[in-house]
Structure formats: structure tokens, C-alpha cells
Amino acid sequence: MRENRAYSGITKDGEGGSWNHAGGKFRRLGPYSCTESELLAIVLGAGVRNKAAKQIADDILEEHHSLYGLMGVSLKELMRIKGLKEVKATKLAAVFEIARRIVKYLEKE
């Protein structure tokens, strides 16, 4: 008998209870349930041939050590990472610019 799920398309795999997609985990369990790598994978959306978004996110964090380490990284530097071309690199840079502006705003309060 199939298990009744609150959200269609949001499933866990049978092995070890890991989520098939970080976005599903985010929607079902909330943002605090996601690792930095999973949050980056959500922003990236899709991977590239032979490399999932989560793998690209792992590579980014391996190179820059944390989300904080990504602050101020140039587009050119982001595009050196396999799987990040102009569009994905621009999305990431925009996310970090938004974060920078929020921090700046909060510092003024």
C-alpha cells in the first residue's frame, strides 16, 4: 500500500531516508533542515551533463569553504568552477549581492 504524502512529488528515497531533491526537503521540512550545499543546489536549479546541481554546490563549497567564503567572489572566478557558466554564476552572484545589501541595511538599524 502506498503511503499518503502531504505534498505530491516530494518524496524520500527508501535508502537511508535522504531526500531526492534539496528543494523537496526545503519545502517539506523547512529552510533550517538544509545544508549549505543543498541551499546552493536549490539556487542553481539544475546541474549539467554528468553533474547534478548538488555536486556543483559541493564543488563550490569545497573551493570556497562556506557560504561566507563566497561573499565577494567575482563572476569570472565563479565561472571557473565546472558546471557554472554565465547564467548560474550570475544567479549566485545576485543571491550574494542581495545578502550583502540585507546585511548593510541591518547594520544601519
Instruction: Dump pLDDT digits (tens) for 10-53.
Output: 445 444 455 567 888 888 888 888 889 999 999 988 888 888 88
pTM attached to this predicted model: 0.72
Nearest to 59 by CA among 50, 94, 101: 50
Assign residue 68 the CATH number of its domain.
1.10.150.20
85 found inside a domain: yes
Instruction: Dump pLDDT digits (tens) for 76-109.
Output: 888 888 888 888 888 888 888 888 889 889 988 8
25 found inside a domain: no
Report whether 38 contacts 54 (CB < 8 A): yes
Nearest-5° Cα angle at 62, 37 to 24:
10
11 found inside a domain: no
16 found inside a domain: no
Per the structure, the count of domains in the chain is 1
